[in-house]
Each structure stands twice: as C-alpha cells, then as structure tokens.
C-alpha cells in the first residue's frame, strides 16, 4: 500500500497541474473562448471513447499477466500525451495523442484491483479511503503549482506533468512490487475483452448490475462537474488561474484529510450499503446547492457539503469489491473503468455545449442541476440494491 499510495500521489500531482490552466491553453490553441470549451469537450470525449473500448482488455490482461505492466504502460502513454499538450500548435495533434492516452488508460483499473489484491475485505474501505486521500493530496499540490506555473507560461504545467509521469513510471519500474503475478491461463477471448461483452456480463449479475448502473449515474454527475468547473469559476466569478488553483487545492486538501481520517470509521459504522447511499445523497444535495450559487461564500459552503459526502464513493467501491472473486478483480474493474469511460466519452462535449448555451442565457450555474439529477438517480439505484 505504501508503494501504491506514492504512485497514486505522483500520478494525481501531474494531473492536478494541468486542471487550472486547461482553459487558457485551449484558448491559445483555438484562438476563441467558445471554441476552446467545445474542443476541451471533444478531447475529453475522445479519451473516454478509447478508454471504454480498451479498459476491459487491460483489466483482463492484468488478471492474466499482472497489474504492474499495465500500470507502467498507462503512465508512459499519459506522459507522452502531456508532452503533446506542451508542444502542439493545433487541436488535431492534441486529439491524436489524447486518444492514445485514452487507449492506454489503465491506472484506475489497476489501482482498484491492486487494493483488492493486497487487503482483506474488511479493510478495503480504509484502503480505498487512503487511496482517495492520496488522490486528494496530489490535487492539493497540483492545482496550486499548475496555477503558479501557468502564470509563467501556459504550456509549462504540461511539461512538468509529463516529467512527473515519466518519474512515476520509473518509480514503478524499480520499486513497485507486483500484487498479482497473473495466472497465465485467464483466456483473452473476444467476449471477455470487448467492452460490450464485458459490460453485458457485469450487468447480468443482480447486485453488481445495479451497482454498475449507480456507478454510471454517479460518474455522469462527476464528469458534468469536472468538465465545466474551471470554466464556470472563470465565467461566474472572473477568477484568475491562480485563484482557481488555490480554491481547488483547498477543497482537495479538505477531502484528503476527511478520507484519511474519517471515511473508514463512517463506513465501518454504517456498513458499505448505508454509507454508499448516504454519501450519494449528500453529493446530490451539494450539486443542487451549487446550481443556485450566486456568491463565493455559497460556493465554499456547498463544496464543504460535497467533501462531507465523499465517503459514498469509497463505500460503493468497497461494496463492489466484495461482490466479486479474487480471480476476476482486474476483469470486473476493467469493465467498471469502461463504464466510467462512457461518461467521460459522452459528458464533456455535451456539458460544454449546454454550458455555452447557459452562458448565453445568463444562467451558467444551472449546469449543476443536471449533475444533481444524475446523483439522485445513483442514490435511488443504491437504495434499491440489497
């Protein structure tokens, strides 16, 4: 776990670097703010499409040959993608390299399967909470550093993110142990490795099927929030990239502390099911509040509510891991990554178009009302699952 937490932290530090500066980069590349929002959505959707197509295969490969090689390839491809962001002069080159990174995106699959490999079922909520804290701490340093580097040069954060990815891959090559050497016999059949076959297999299982549908709704809500958040802060409050970075880092720090210190106790006291339902409901309330935000202090309040509900995702992941066997963790986690990729493929461009329209009508915060509806749907599905 120590090795894995460091890997996750470095990975998320690199990703966090580029978040506050992405609007500025896309504006430079496209020379038009409205086109920048649209292209940002297209890049995100393309990444999601390729991730959806390949994730089940990567999960299956990790069951057959081990987690470590999949993780290393994923990190190297992401580093190449960030190098392209640091040097490309047009959106089409960015699209090509971002598609490659999406096809190799196995980090989430490997991390979730890795945790299930090295922890007992009773300790997984705590382990996933620590992983969430490592993600959060990466975003504490990442957006602040990204905002500051972005003030020096709009492409500099992407170069630093690429270097961190390569450093992370080197760390994994020399230090990270293999949690599951692989059985060498798990069949790589077309049915098991293609996204539709893998997803159909998962959805046919009663409990896992409902949890997967709830996960999809929650991911859609998350992606709506994520894909327009920096643009929303820029449009609604005219914040600079440095200001956005500080606010995001503060929220990430609060979330990291909460997940490291409180999530395990909450999930243990409530159990996976009740904790998943409660956390999902709190997240829906937070998004509803943001949809009607008119002042920064209101924004901070609803962000705090969202942090308080973050234990729901940990509980859901723990719940899912309990329903599947040790020999299929990679395969099922790959299918679930594909489910998340559906949201990543469809939501960014759609949210970008809707958000652009809402800007024209003078009501940009209402984009978060749609996110709240999907979060509420996830809560309903979790409630229906026994």
> Is residue 382's pLDDT more than 80?
yes
DSSP per-residue string spanning 133-185: HHHHHHHHHHHHHHHHHHHH-TTHHHHHHHHHHHHHHHHHHHTPPPS----S-
pLDDT > 70: percent of the chain: 94
Mean pLDDT, rounded, for 15-33: 72
Instruction: Give the per-residue pLDDT at 183.
Output: 65
pLDDT (mean) for 279-295 = 91
Domain 2-174+195-384 bears CATH identifier 3.50.50.60: no
Average confidence (pLDDT) over 140-160: 78
Residue 282 has pLDDT above 80, yes or no: yes
pLDDT for 90: 76
Can you tell me which residue has the tokens 């973050």? Answer: 310
For the chain, list the strands marked E by DSSP: none
Domain ranges of the chain: 2-174+195-384
Q: How far apart are CA 213 and CA 382, in angstroms?
A: 9
Q: What is the pLDDT of residues 76-93, one digit of tens each?
A: 888 888 888 788 777 787
Q: What is the pLDDT of residue 191?
A: 65
Query: Comparing 236 with 186, which gets the higher pLDDT?
Result: 236
The per-residue pLDDT for 109 is 78
Q: Which pair of structure tokens corresponds to residue 165?
A: 């990815």
Averaged pLDDT for residues 366-386: 93
* Residues 6, 9, 10, 11, CA torsion sign: positive
Residue 257: its H or E element: helix 241-261
Does 380 score more than 90 pLDDT? yes
Query: Alpha-carbon distance 248 to 238, whole Å?
Result: 15
Compute the distance between CA of residue 349 and CA of residue 224 in angstroms, rounded to an integer: 10
How far is 278 from 95, CA to CA, in rounded Å?
38
Percent of the chain with pLDDT strictly greater than 90: 16
d(CA 207, CA 193): 22
Q: Can you tell me the distance from the alpha carbon of 375 to that of 187, in angstroms, rounded to the nearest whole number? A: 36
Q: What is the DSSP track for 303-360?
A: HHHHHHTTHHHHHHHHHHHHTS-GGGHHHHHHHHHHHHHHHHHHHHHHHHHHHHHHHH
State the pLDDT at residue 383.
94
Please answer whether residues 4 and 115 qualify as being in contact, where contact means their C-beta atoms are separated by less than 8 angstroms.
yes
pLDDT band for position 246 (cuts 50, 70, 90): confident
Does the pLDDT value for residue 107 go beyond 70? yes
State the pLDDT confidence band at 289, using cuts at 50, 70 and 90: very high
How many other β-carbons are positioned within 10 Å of the β-carbon of residue 337?
27
The count of other CB atoms within 10 Å of the CB of residue 152 is 9
59-85: average pLDDT:
84
Residue 193: pLDDT band with limits 50, 70, 90: low
pLDDT at 60: 80
| pLDDT greater than 90 at residue 132 | no
Q: How far apart are CA 345 and CA 343, in angstroms?
A: 5
Region of residue 187 (phi > 0: left; psi between -120 and 50: alpha; otherwise: beta) = beta
């Amino acid at each position: 776990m120590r090795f894995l937490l460091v890997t996750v932290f470095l990975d998320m530090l690199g990703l966090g670097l580029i978040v506050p500066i992405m609007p500025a980069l896309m504006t430079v590349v496209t020379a038009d703010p409205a086109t920048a929002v649209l292209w940002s959505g297209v890049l995100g959707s393309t990444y999601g499409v390729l991730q959806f197509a390949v994730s089940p295969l990567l999960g299956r490969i990790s069951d057959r040959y081990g987690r470590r090689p999949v993780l290393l390839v994923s990190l190297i491809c992401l580093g190449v993608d960030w190098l392209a962001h640091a040097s490309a002069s047009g959106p089409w080159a960015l699209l090509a390299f971002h598609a490659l990174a999406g096809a190799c995106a196995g980090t989430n699959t490997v991390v979730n399967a890795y945790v299930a490999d090295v922890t007992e079922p009773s300790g997984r909520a705590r382990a996933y909470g620590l992983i969430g804290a490592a993600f959060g701490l990466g975003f504490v340093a990442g957006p602040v550093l990204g905002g500051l580097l972005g003030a020096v040069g709009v492409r500099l954060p992407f170069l630093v993110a690429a270097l961190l990815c390569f450093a992370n891959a080197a760390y994994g090559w020399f230090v990270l142990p293999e949690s599951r050497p692989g059985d060498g016999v798990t069949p790589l059949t077309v049915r098991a490795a293609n996204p539709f076959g893998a997803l159909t297999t998962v959805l046919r299982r009663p409990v896992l099927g409902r949890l997967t549908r709830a996960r999809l709704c929650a991911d859609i809500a998350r992606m709506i929030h994520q894909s327009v958040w920096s643009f929303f802060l820029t449009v609604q409050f005219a914040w600079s990239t440095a200001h956005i970075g500080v606010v995001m880092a503060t929220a990430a720090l609060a979330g990291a502390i909460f997940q490291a210190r409180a999530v395990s106790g909450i999930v243990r006291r409530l159990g996976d099911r009740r904790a998943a339902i409660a956390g999902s409901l709190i997240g829906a309330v937070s998004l509803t509040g943001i949809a009607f935000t008119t002042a920064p202090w209101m924004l901070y309040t609803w962000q705090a509510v969202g942090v308080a509900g973050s234990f729901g995702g940990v509980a859901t992941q723990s719940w899912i891991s309990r329903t599947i066997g040790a020999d299929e963790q990679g395969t099922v986690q790959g299918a679930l990554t594909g489910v998340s990729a559906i949201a990543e493929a469809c939501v960014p461009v759609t949210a970008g178009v809707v958000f652009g329209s809402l800007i024209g009508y003078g009501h940009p915060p209402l984009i978060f009302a749609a996110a709240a509806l999907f979060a509420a749907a996830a809560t309903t599905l979790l409630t229906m699952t026994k």
